[in-house]
């Protein structure tokens, strides 16, 4: 791989060059991660040996604490090593859709969008806004983000499903408790090596005016594009560019990615039936509950992992849930 990266004609094909450099980055990251763990282990052992020689219980305790923290890092690296699916190393698309319930559900969808954006930024992933449909009074009806970074799809792929919020509504003058739902869909960005054929006769293309809530990632032009795949009823949309042509190209890439994900899940025989957006966003389909009243608790209903700091989770502290879901899946 190193010899290939040194070839003078490598950059004559930017796509191939980019893929090779990305593979190199992935391998370097894996080697550096292992070396860092090995160094941390040696440091902890040295610290404990020093404490034993000097009969210093505090130094020994410090070394043992370092080992406990190291075991957590080792487990995460172990999980990363198991992310060997065909698309696990890829970037991913993340869709948020508000459930029934008007402003309450739409505000919850916005909170989820921010939660995933903050998680991504904390892990040094790049976040691109591709589409956003503003809510009627607050929040959003839907949005699509592109999370760019190594293993983005691998880490987030278990987040597919319905997320439930229980809180005192800020939109209810009587301060009553409300339950809201929103759904998350994750699917991988695919490259040209994965050949997905989409026939023109199988798609319907609609254009419309962007309707985002504002901000640098939203345009208010007539260039937004929605593509519906008629055989599967899968629909994708993009509005992040002022060019209708570029939005259509991006939407077509998203559609191919959705179709690829559908094939992946067929191969893995995962019991997911919501590819055509037919799953009800409500009771009985949720994977995680976020309770802000009368107490604070976030609980994953698949792994039983709980966290009392609900606000921390909403600020992007998702790793315990992602790691547990991946471990259970493996």
- Name the pLDDT band for 10 (thresholds 50, 70, 90): low
pLDDT at 52 over 60: yes
Question: What pLDDT is attached to residue 214?
Answer: 45
3-state DSSP assignment of residue 303? coil
Question: What pLDDT is attached to residue 2?
Answer: 47
Question: What pLDDT is attached to residue 274?
Answer: 43
| Closest of 119, 112, 103, 93 to residue 164, by C-alpha | 112
Q: How does strand 234-238 pair with strand 140-148?
A: unpaired
pLDDT at 21 over 70: yes
pLDDT at 197 over 80: yes
- Name the pLDDT band for 102 (thresholds 50, 70, 90): confident
116, 189 Cβ separation under 8 angstroms: no
Question: Within 10 A of 127 (CB to CB), how many other CB atoms are there?
Answer: 19
Cα atoms in the Cβ-side hemisphere of radius 13 Å centred on 299:
8
- Percent of the chain whose predicted confidence (pLDDT) is above 70: 85
pLDDT at 154 over 70: yes
Question: What pLDDT is attached to residue 8?
Answer: 59
pLDDT at 6 over 60: no
As a whole number of angstroms, the distance between CA 120 and CA 171 comes to: 29
Average pLDDT for 104-113: 96
Lowest mean pLDDT among 35-39, 272-276, 319-323, 325-329: 272-276
Instruction: Using the Cα atoms of residue 183, residue 187, residue 189 and residue 195 in order, give the sign of their dihedral.
Output: negative
Average pLDDT for 113-121: 97
pLDDT at 209 over 90: no
3-state DSSP assignment of residue 86? coil
Question: What pLDDT is attached to residue 150?
Answer: 85
Instruction: Using the Cα atoms of residue 31, residue 36, residue 41 and residue 42 in order, give the sign of their dihedral.
Output: positive
3-state DSSP assignment of residue 202? helix
Average pLDDT for 238-261: 90
Question: What pLDDT is attached to residue 273?
Answer: 45
16, 9 Cβ separation under 8 angstroms: no
Q: List domains and CATH numbers for the chain.
A: 2-81 (1.20.58.410), 92-329 (3.30.70.1660)
Q: Across all residues in the chain, what is the average pLDDT?
A: 84
For the segment 246-255, what is each residue's pLDDT rounded down to a tens digit?
A: 999 999 999 9
pLDDT at 279 over 70: no
3-state DSSP assignment of residue 156? helix
As a whole number of angstroms, the distance between CA 118 and CA 68 comes to: 27
What crossing angle do the helices spanning 14-54 and 57-81 adopt, rounded to 10°? 160
pLDDT at 277 over 80: no
Average pLDDT for 285-289: 89
pLDDT at 109 over 60: yes
Question: What pLDDT is attached to residue 241?
Answer: 83
Question: What pLDDT is attached to residue 217?
Answer: 47
pLDDT at 13 over 60: yes
């Amino acid at each position: 791989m190193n010899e290939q990266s040194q070839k003078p004609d490598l950059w004559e094909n930017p796509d191939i060059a980019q893929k090779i450099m990305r593979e190199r980055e992935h391998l370097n990251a894996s080697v550096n991660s292992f070396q860092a763990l090995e160094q941390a282990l040696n440091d902890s052992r040295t610290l404990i040996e020093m404490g034993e020689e000097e009969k210093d219980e505090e130094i020994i305790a410090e070394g043992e604490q370092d080992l406990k923290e190291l075991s957590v890092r080792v487990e995460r690296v172990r999980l990363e090593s198991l992310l060997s699916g065909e698309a696990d190393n890829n970037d991913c698309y993340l869709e948020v859709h508000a459930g029934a319930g008007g402003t309450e559900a739409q505000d919850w969808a916005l909170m989820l969008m921010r939660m995933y954006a903050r998680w991504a930024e904390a892990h040094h992933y790049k976040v691109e806004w591709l589409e956003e449909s503003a809510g009627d009074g607050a929040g959003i009806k839907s949005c699509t983000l592109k999370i760019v970074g190594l293993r983005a799809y691998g880490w987030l792929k278990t987040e597919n499903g319905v997320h439930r919020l229980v809180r005192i509504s800020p939109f209810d003058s009587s301060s009553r408790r409300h339950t809201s739902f929103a759904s998350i869909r994750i699917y991988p960005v695919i490259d040209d090596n994965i050949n997905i054929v989409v026939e023109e006769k199988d798609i319907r293309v609609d254009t419309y005016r962007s309707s985002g809530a504002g901000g640098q990632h939203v345009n208010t032009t007539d260039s937004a594009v929605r593509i519906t795949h008629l055989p599967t009823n899968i629909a994708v949309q993009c509005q992040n560019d002022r060019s209708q042509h570029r939005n259509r190209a991006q939407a077509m890439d998203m559609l191919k990615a959705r179709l690829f994900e559908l094939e992946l899940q067929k191969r893995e025989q995962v019991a997911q039936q919501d590819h055509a957006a037919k799953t009800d966003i409500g009771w009985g389909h949720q994977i995680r509950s976020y309770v802000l009243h009368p107490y604070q608790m976030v609980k994953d209903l698949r792994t039983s992992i709980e966290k009392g700091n609900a606000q921390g989770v909403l600020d992007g502290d998702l790793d315990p849930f992602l790691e547990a879901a991946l471990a259970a899946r493996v």
